[in-house]
Amino acid sequence: MIWKVLGIGSFVLLPMSVSLWYTSHHRPVQYRWDLTLQKSLRVYLKDGLLGLRVLAMPTKVASRTEFRATLQHKAIPGGRHWLLRSHRVGPYRITWMVFPLWASTVGLIGLMFVPVVRGPVMRLWRRARGRCIACGYDLRGSRRRCPECATPIG
């Protein structure tokens, strides 16, 4: 059941992933959200990459002044495609996570096909191990039908 939910969810999220990918190439954007008084999150969409930057501050006063400050960094550090880095600058901790949007799109496509592939694979696995292909009951000693679900053996 969980695989069907994941498959349907990935089918719903796939157009959003593709539209973010398209947007990042044609109209780079950045968003900022204040997670708490001490943390802010900046999201960058540029050149097919998604960059997340979390800035953690030691005091509430520092966070208020940082929220009024303009962006001091390039949108994607070093132009890298895969990056996970955390470092300190004075009292601040800056954490970067950058990954290509095609990776999320490929992952969603893979999740979409899991329910389709899982059924035949499970039937083959059960048949090879001497189990009922419908319910998985152990068929050793059974002649014509599964004693659990009455599925014909064959």
Model confidence at 99: pLDDT above 50: yes
Q: What is the mean pLDDT of residues 42-53?
A: 81
pTM check: above 0.75: no
Query: How would you class 107 by CB atoms within 10 Å of its CB: exposed for 0-12, middle for 13-18, buried for 19 or more?
Result: middle
- Which sign, positive or negative, has the C-alpha torsion 10, 11, 16, 19? positive
How much is the pLDDT for 125?
92
Give the position of tokens 């659990």.
148
Which candidate, 67, 58, 116, places its Cα nearest to that of 90? 58
Rounded mean pLDDT, 30-49: 80
Check pLDDT > 80 for residue 154.
Answer: no
What's the confidence (pLDDT) of residue 79? 59
CB 43, CB 31: distance < 8 Å: yes
59 band by pLDDT with thresholds 50, 70 and 90: low
pLDDT in tens, 100-143: 888 888 888 888 888 889 889 999 999 899 899 888 898 888 88
For the chain, the domains span 2-103
The matching CATH number, chosen from 2.60.120, 1.20.1070, 3.30.1460, 3.30.420, for 2-103 is 3.30.1460
| Of 14, 84, 18, nearest in space to 51 by CA | 84
How confident is the prediction for the chain on average, in pLDDT? 78
Question: E strand or H helix at 125, and its extent?
Answer: helix 101-128
The predicted structure's pLDDT at residue 14: 84
SS3 content of the chain, % helix, strand, coil (to 5): 40, 25, 30
Q: Is the pLDDT confidence value at 69 over 50? A: no
Q: What is the pLDDT of residue 77?
A: 55
Tally Cβ neighbours within 10 Å of residue 139: 20
Task: Kindly tell me if the per-residue pLDDT of 34 is higher than 60.
Answer: yes
